Chain A
Amino acid sequence: MQGNIRSYLVNSSVVKASRSFVCIRLLTYENKEEYEYMEGILRVRAGTLPNTVFCVLAPDGKTKLTRSGRGPFFAFANATVMASSMGLMAAKYPTANQNALSDPQLPLVHKVDVALNTAACDNRPLVVTVAADRDQLAKVDSSLLKLAWSEEFAGQFVYGSTTERKDLKPLVGAGDSSAILIVEPGTYGVSGKVMGQLDAGASADEIQQALAKALREFTPQVKSHNAHIQTGYNLGIEWETVVPESDAQSVRAKAAFKARQAKP
């Protein structure tokens, strides 16, 4: 995500305004249905979706409240304007403010491996819930709900969830009986180290303390964008997308980069 997009989204007034919104951040090439939805939002030709998308929508998920584009700069001159505009938009929906931070579900990323990579990109710890079946998983997830949507923890963690123990393979230190894992993602988000873990019967206090401890102990990595890519390439770490990447500029840059690296 480009730095100028991030500068809008980390602005404290935008973050405050975001509490009256449902904030959805999709992973552009990781799900075909979501890809097609975004093509519709941007109104681009099929198979040409750029790698970043932005829009503010009504609760129906269809009606646009702003122009759509590659980033918030398509709709707002700066982050301050964005925050005040979001306040005005939310005011038109009477339940928007009263329903802030009270969601009945965790803000999950589709799959654990994608959640791990997302956590590495965000430089945030990851919480993974795991259980043998959907019913038990729903119980584990519900034990986290109030904390996940509290002012203390909202936005501080990335969440993943699974009923398959094999999905935990990249997470070093995951115990056989753990239901909640708190993970420090590796630099490239292809592995992670368990910082804390709890059984399904953990109390709200125990979960709160484990999350707070993880936040205290988590040290965001300092990443140099270019060095990260060069080293990742040298190490042979490559991310395979579900949908072929279709951002023409990015595809060209990737081909040029690989051609440069291939030269003796």
Chain B
Amino acid sequence: MKKRTLLVISLLLAAGTLVHAEENPIPRIAWYGNLADGLAEAKRSGRPILLVSGAPACLGVPGVW
């Protein structure tokens, strides 16, 4: 009985680790998603621009770049 309880607790802890895998998210680039706002901010702040573009669909199916 005790072993089974320990097993259940271990599995719950493991599951918890998976659920909270992003508890400390890695740093990510903060992207402006439209040109007008981004250009205005570059002019205001004097920061250079890192410009990329991608299509939010592959073979017409959304949800992947």
Contacts and interface: CB of A to CB of B under 8 A. Distances in A.
| Same complex | yes
Interface in A99-130: 99-105, 107-110, 114-115, 117-118, 120-121, 124
B46 A99 contact: yes
Interface residues on chain A, size class: 35 or more
A108 B61 contact: no
Given A61-B42, A118-B56, A239-B56, A107 B51 contact: no
Contact of B29 (A23, A105, A218, A233): A23
Contacts of B22: 215-216, 218-220
Interface residues of B, number: 46
B50 A238 contact: no
A189 B63 contact: yes
B49 A109 contact: no
Given A155-B27, A220-B22, A108 B34 contact: yes
Given A22-B49, A188-B63, A110 B55 contact: no
Interface of A: 1-2, 5-6, 9-10, 12, 14-16, 18, 20-31, 33-34, 37-38, 41, 51-61, 65, 71-72, 86, 89-90, 92-96, 99-105, 107-110, 114-115, 117-118, 120-121, 124, 148-149, 151, 154-156, 158-159, 185-190, 215-220, 223, 225, 228-229, 232-233, 237-239, 241, 245, 247, 250, 253-254, 257
Interface of B: 18-23, 25-35, 37-65
